[in-house]
Amino acid sequence: MAPGPPNDMEIIELIERPELLETAARWFHEKWGVPLEAYEESMRDALLGGPVPAWLVAMEDGKLVGGLGVIENDFHERKDLAPNVCAVFVEPEYRCRGIAGKLLNEICARMKARGIDTLYLLTDHTGFYERYGWDYLCPVLGDGEDEPARMYIHR
């Protein structure tokens, strides 16, 4: 059994630590290849305090080791399935320690506290998100994709 998240790992919402914006935007850009400016804009919008967008990062010993966001639409055709958890990533050397689960549970709780009971997530993964209370909903075609991905829902 893999060890759980370390006690010194912090889950931080960007609105709580706005000085992390540039570091977080750069980190997500490096992981996903989405333009840096898109992350910066979304993260600046998150600092305005609305429920969406929102960005969480996992920090250990001052290093960003994981993160995710909530945006209206994660580049897919189903604009009615919103908002979307996006950009879920944990550094490879930090995987299998429960960090992704902790991030997912935290964002669901924070969104629920803001009146958003239903979240969606588009992925190619099968079996991963079910561990954290997500249910497969339907296939959805991503922007510019030829094959549909899997849309999950969390209520």
* pLDDT reported for residue 7: 59
Q: What rounded mean pLDDT belongs to the chain?
A: 94
Does residue 146 form part of some domain?
yes
Q: How do residues 30-44 score in pLDDT, each as one tens digit?
A: 999 999 999 999 999
Residue at 4 is within a domain: no
pLDDT band at 101 (very low <50, low <70, confident <90, very high): very high
In contact, 122 and 140? CB cutoff 8 Å: yes
Distances (CA, A) of 28 to 23, 43, 125: 9, 11, 19
In a domain, 3, yes or no: no
Reported confidence tier of residue 8, pLDDT bands at 50, 70, 90: confident
**Residue 26 belongs to domain with CATH number:** 3.40.630.30
Domain that holds residue 32: 9-154
Query: Is 2 inside a domain boundary?
Result: no
Name the DSSP letter for residue 15.
G
The model's pTM: 0.92
In a domain, 1, yes or no: no
CA 34 – CA 1 distance, rounded (Å) = 34
* Domains of the chain: total: 1
